[in-house]
Chain A
Amino acid sequence: MTMKIGVYICECGPNISEKVDIDKVIDAVSSMSDVAVVDRYKLLCSSDGKKFLEEEIKKHGLTHLVVSACSPKQHEKTFMEVCENAGINPYLFQIVNIREQCAWITEDKDEATEKAIRLTKAAIRRVRYHAPLEKKEIECNTDVLVIGGGIAGIEASLQLVSANRKVYLVEKTQSIGGLLTNFEKTFPDMQPSSALINQKIQSLNNNENIKVFTDSEVEEVLGFFGNFEIKVKKKAEEEPIEFDVGAVVVATGSNIFDPKKTPQYGYGKFDNVINSLEFEKMNLSGKISLKNGKIPKSVAIIHCVGRNEKKYCSEICCMYSLKFVRYLTNKIPDVKVSNFYSDLCLPGKSYQKFYEQTKGNTDFVRSMDVKITEKDGKLNIEYKDETGKKSDLSVDMVILSSAIEPTSDASKLAEIIGMSQGDGGFFAEEHEKLGPVSTSTEGVYVVGSSQDPKSISETMVQSEAAAGEILSSLVPGKKIEPEVKVSHISESLCTGCKTCLSVCSYGVITFNEEKKISVVNEAICRGCGNCAAACPSGAATIKHFTFDQIYQELMEAVK
């Protein structure tokens, strides 16, 4: 069948026409072989313009279409739809950007025109080698996987679950509840945290549409938004559990910084130097005591432990330190509590008040170079005060308010899911302001302290936000279109070296042991092109970006 390429240049009313000599472009490309018609139009993306293109295609019996106009990001889809409506496969089309790449970047009309000619010619030559590709449509799965059974995960689960949306909650340890189960009270309201967490856990357990896996870890996440294939491994069992979901919420929480890394505080060296989590647990058990069983009369709370090492502020330690003051002064009436700090972090409407209302025999010592030693059987805090003067204080117990850091298996999980880790090693959100709970992987959300150290109230906000996004975008009956421009590996050329497998960012390539070749799962391939670039023999190729297509476009562009 003879090829008939239609080339249309948009004036972009008059964004392009006043900077690019369109008639010159028309002249230059008219003589190219297989070009049946070249024309210009005021505004091709308007409804008139689209109608014009459709009619042109039918009138001239065009087989391929080239449109020189704006950025593909803007209107590639628009013109692909026009093709479809006019009866041409939408992939036998190429858009050329002569606006952002020509008209808008120079004042020199000759320059802009010359470039527009080159780009258009290159596109015409490329489109000759396009192959028709079929779009696919699959129904999306509306279920959600929530990883992590702490307050973040529990809240997200409760917000998401409904009659037609199951939630799978996977928890690494033997029970859900997370860090909150270690706290007696929460700041700033100083209400019992059990009230908060137990009620949530009960709602969760009563809901038959939430399936909880404890002692379990996520082993594999393959696929894409609306179509994830999940494997979960329960500790005691051999075979992993498999199920499909449409979205994933990562709520895996955080760890406490290990003060052994800051030996100046004597953690692990001296008795009665404990970290914040240990103190919370001790307080919850009902008895605050020293190692020898005696009640401490003097306690020092050292703020910002690990801040210099981690190079960020963990936001909540000052507040929980103030909470600790209240624990101590309420339970040990005549205790003396000294806070050693360099700055106090008290943002928001309620935190300053919490600080000001701190009662009891407490003082706040602005200090630096804090060092803990032992002197006369008691702990001795050596420090420099604001003026630089050296001083020391003898106490019974030292509590280290330590930084919050990512869990030790964060990297492993990041790799499994395909998430990035940002500052501090925390999971990276898509954008600080424009995508605070989504990630660069569509369909994967991150909430809670696995994303950034934060308070419980901020965590609740994120969990509800993530749930909201999922609820609005993953609706039952919604159709998703998997990527069409995917990789393909030639069976005869592949020698099974697995190089493509090693560089595939999405885990869509598997190895067929029998045939000893690599195979692409085209349903979940994203068409990133890593495999095609890495394969030395060219066995792996990307549809719509084949060697011929790129070569021809390039050769014409540099002619």
Chain B
Amino acid sequence: MSKVEGTPITKGAIISTKLNTNESIIEFLKKAMDKKVFDAVLVPVRVPAGDSFAYVLIEDKSLLKDAAPLSPIMSVQGAKAISGMTKLGKGNMKIGAVMRPCEIRATVELTKINQTNLENITLISMDCPGVMPISDFLKDPEKSMKIYEDAVKRSDDKIMRPVCQICDKSSMVSGDLHIGTLGAKKGTFFIVSNSQKGNEVMNKLGIELKDNVDDWRNKVQDVFEEKHKKREKSHKDLKAKTTGLDNLINTFSKCINCHNCMKVCPICYCRLCYFDSDKVKHTSEDYLDQAERKGSIRFLPDTLLFHMGRMMHMSLSCVSCGSCEDACPMSIPVAQIFSMVADETQDLFDYVSGRSLDEPIPLVGYKEDELHEMEDAK
């Protein structure tokens, strides 16, 4: 946690409630709208057909009845929703956005590259139990809702996305406010603030941040250590399976170049991906030349190049949300592989994606004294 967290948060507010987590958060949002702290809120809402969830910007409180801050799936990565709204500038409405920690981290990363404007947005996260893979959820949406609620109650993550199961940043605070459920006594939850904006919101709501939150911090630390161990082991196993060009080619052999992974990734922000552009469109002579060199080439060639290229472009900002794997029609463990590589590349620079708005992305920072270990690399 000390590596993941910035300045440790020691004080917060303990709120009593008779409602469950989803309902408590909705109540909080309603109060904030009543007091005009927020003009509107951005939160996942069940779609009319009932078989999915989508982010909705809500001004009419009555629409909150179908809201599910802890929705069982992540249909659109929240950072994409924020950037969809604010890429072209800041809005005038004060908006409170509730999303998972990884969605807020991705929002922070996108802000560093000018794809969002957070000026009138308050980012609220919560301790995240994970989300189900969309395909599992869709098998029976009604049933899946119950299965999810049940699993969350029992702190059982076996039904969640593979990367959720090994996520050690599920309580990371990088937005403005955070709802803490871990370590809370029954009938209560914590709220902590991570910024001036967060402090002001709590102030306007008349909630003082003077309670001791050690119970939350300690439980978060416990969960972190457990998940971290699990993550290291999982990455070790995966590395063994994917190391070496042959293994890598085989892992991606079923890829059909649909580029879904790139499209749903919150970090991939290019209007026209390099790998969709003219640069990968070659003449028939070039293709035949390539085919002749090996006697046969896959068509379209360069499948692995796409994945390696994408990895190189976004690895430093990858937040391991797992949206890519959910979107892959060929069940390639894209998220697991990209997360594993991202952990290592971010480690090289002592960087954790989305940890803080003040940390520039290592790619654009030049330090004369760094990466000496690379100098003698064989």
Contact = CB atoms under 8 A, between A and B. Distances in A.
Do A and B come into direct contact in the complex, CB within 8 Å? yes
Interface of A is mostly: loop
A538 B275 CA distance: 10
A515 B88 CA distance: 9
Given A516-B88, A555-B289, A538 B274 contact: yes
A534 to B, nearest CB: 7
A502 B273 CA distance: 20
Contacts of B378: none
A502 B366 CA distance: 10
Contact of A496 (B114, B273, B277, B293): B114
Contact of A498 (B114, B270, B279, B293): B114
Interface string B159-196: 00000000000000000000000000000000000000
A499 B113 contact: yes
B113 A493 contact: no
Interface in A511-558: 516, 534, 536-539, 547, 551, 555
B289 A559 contact: yes
Given A497-B115, A498-B114, A555-B286, A536 B274 contact: yes
B269 interface: yes
A185 to B, nearest CB: 41
A510 to B, nearest CB: 13
Nearest to A501: B364
A536 B115 CA distance: 14
A536 B313 contact: yes
B286 A497 contact: no
A492 B279 contact: no
A516 B83 CA distance: 14
Nearest to A516: B88
Contacts of B269: 495, 497
B114 A547 contact: no
A536 B270 contact: yes
User: For this complex, into which size category does the number of interface residues on chain A fall?
Assistant: 20 to 34
Given A538-B274, A559-B289, A502 B114 contact: no
A170 B114 CA distance: 36
A282 B272 CA distance: 68
Interface in B85-126: 87-88, 113-115
B305 interface: no
Contacts of A534: 363-364
A555 B301 CA distance: 15
A536 B270 CA distance: 7
Interface string B258-302: 000000000001111110010100000010010001000000000
Contacts of B271: 492-495, 537, 539
Contacts of B313: 536
Contacts of B289: 555, 559
Interface string B322-362: 00000000000000000000000000000000000000100
Interface in B228-281: 269-274, 277, 279
Nearest to B290: A555
5 contacts: A492-B271, A497-B269, A534-B364, A538-B272, A538-B277
Interface of B: 87-88, 113-115, 269-274, 277, 279, 286, 289, 293, 313-314, 360, 363-364
Lowest 8 A-B CB distances belong to which pairs?
A: A537-B270, A502-B364, A497-B113, A536-B313, A547-B279, A495-B271, A538-B274, A496-B114
Given A495-B115, A498-B114, A559-B289, 8 more contacts: A495-B270, A497-B115, A497-B269, A499-B363, A516-B88, A516-B114, A537-B270, A537-B273
